[in-house]
Amino acid sequence: MQAKERHQPDFGTGQKKLSTYLIGLGICTFLTLFAFWIVMSRQFSSLEGFVFIYAAACLQFVAQLIFFLRLNTQTEQGRVNVMSLVFTGVVLITVIIGTLWIMSNLNYYMVH
């Protein structure tokens, strides 16, 4: 049985356990409700709301990566997956922040 379990292909996606998925579901449900409540309760200023909903989104992103995608660094495959994810993150931030920076700069010089 032990030997058989070892030969299960896991593709760098980790062990499959119901408890992990349930924890992930709980965290994601909570964070989603939290983010919607912040906006729908109308008790928060724009800046506070901005900070809270982006924090909730980032936390939920991490929770999804860990509990549903099962990203891990336990195996060689897992490490390669994480490395390519980090590289994509760098490209993503360059594209988004770079675009916003350039466009706001253009906007500034159009006005002034």
Partner 1 sequence: MHSQTLDHDGTDVFGFWLYIMTDCILFACLFATYIVLNGGMQHTLMLKDFVALPDILIETFLLLASNFTFCLAILNLYQSKLKKVQFWLMITFLFGAAFIYMELTEFARLATEGFRWDLSAQASSFFTLVGTHGLHVSFGLLWILIMIFQLPLLGISPASKRRLTYLGLFWNFLDIVWIFVFTVVYLMGAL
> Smallest gap, in angstroms, from Cβ of residue 109 to partner 1?
14
Decide: is 105 part of the binding site for partner 1 (CB under 8 A). no
Site size for partner 1 (CB under 8 A):
52
CA–CA distance, 17 with 7 (Å, rounded to integer): 17
User: Quick one: which of 41, 91, 108, 112 contacts partner 1 (CB under 8 A)?
Assistant: 91
- Write the single-letter amino acid at 95: V
> What's the distance, CA 96 to chain centroid?
16
**Does residue 51 touch partner 1 according to CB under 8 A?**
no
CB contact set of 70 (below 8 Å; sequence gap of 6+): 13, 14, 15, 16, 20
DSSP string, 43-56: -S-HHHHHHHHHHH
Please tell me whether residue 12 binds partner 1 under the rule CB under 8 A: yes
CA distance 108 to 40: 33
Q: Which residues in this chain contact partner 1 in the complex, by CB under 8 A?
A: 6, 8-9, 11-13, 16-18, 21, 24-25, 28-29, 32, 35-36, 38-40, 46, 49-50, 53-54, 56-57, 60-61, 64-65, 68-69, 74-77, 80-81, 84-85, 87-88, 91-92, 95-96, 99-100, 103-104, 107
